């Protein structure tokens, strides 16, 4: 028993440091990010997100159409109270600090932000990643992340053309 625990502790320390950090992190919500990521110089991430359907993903679950889908699937509760719907329409991880009404928000894609959102950590990407900021090796890794939700488990699933869809929500910082 003791021995197994010791081995697990070593493995965790050696391999899973970023996950460990993010496991301890909590969601801070959109306002916890956009104090620094809304200006034109930064790339207007707040305005781009607000205009995207992601911002309304929770509200969509409160519509009649959503409740009809939930009923047809045999769910006992309305869509906006069903974990089977909330899992893709709000932040993952269930009840946490952030308001689920924010729908698919910054941290749905970037990871829970409590440990990386300070200026001192954010300034150095490696440190931010160690503190739970999601790192994407290439476009294929980004596409795979999108497909955590854009897949056939969605009752209204549409074909997901990554290149086109990514352009619709791109929010790059402009080159200086």
Q: Which residues bind ligand HEC (CB under 6 A)?
A: 28, 30, 32-37, 42-43, 45-46, 49, 53-54, 56-57, 60-61, 65-66, 69-70, 73, 79, 82, 84-85, 87-89, 104-110, 113, 117, 119, 122-123, 125, 136, 142, 145-146, 148-151, 153-158, 165-166, 168-169, 171-173
- In angstroms, give the least distance from the CB of 43 to ligand HEC: 6
- In angstroms, give the least distance from the CB of 91 to ligand HEC: 7
Q: How far apart, in whole angstroms, are the C-alpha atoms of residue 140 and residue 4?
A: 36
Q: How far apart, in whole angstroms, are the C-alpha atoms of residue 61 and residue 168?
A: 22
- For residue 45, give the nearest of 105, 133, 128, 111 by alpha carbon: 105
- The torsion angles phi and psi of 40, rounded to 5 degrees, stand at -60, -40
Q: How far apart, in whole angstroms, are the C-alpha atoms of residue 111 and residue 132?
A: 6
The nearer residue to ligand HEC, 3 or 172, going by C-beta atoms, is 172
């Amino acid at each position: 028993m003791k021995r197994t625990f010791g081995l697990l502790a070593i493995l965790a320390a050696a391999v899973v440091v970023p996950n460990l950090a993010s496991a301890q992190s909590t969601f801070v919500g959109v306002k916890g990010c956009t104090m620094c990521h809304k200006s034109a110089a930064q790339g207007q991430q707040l305005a781009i997100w607000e205009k995207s359907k992601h911002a309304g993903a929770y509200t969509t679950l409160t519509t009649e159409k959503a409740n009809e889908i939930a009923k047809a699937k045999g769910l006992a509760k309305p869509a906006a109270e069903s974990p089977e719907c909330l899992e893709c329409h709000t932040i993952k991880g269930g009840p946490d600090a952030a308001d689920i009404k924010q729908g698919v928000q910054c941290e749905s894609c970037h990871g829970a932000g409590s440990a990386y959102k300070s200026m001192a950590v954010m300034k150095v990407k490696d440190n931010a990643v160690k503190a739970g900021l999601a790192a994407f090796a290439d476009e294929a890794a980004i596409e795979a992340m999108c497909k955590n939700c854009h897949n056939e488990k969605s009752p209204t699933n549409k074909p997901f053309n990554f290149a086109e869809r990514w352009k619709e929500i791109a929010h790059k910082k402009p080159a200086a």
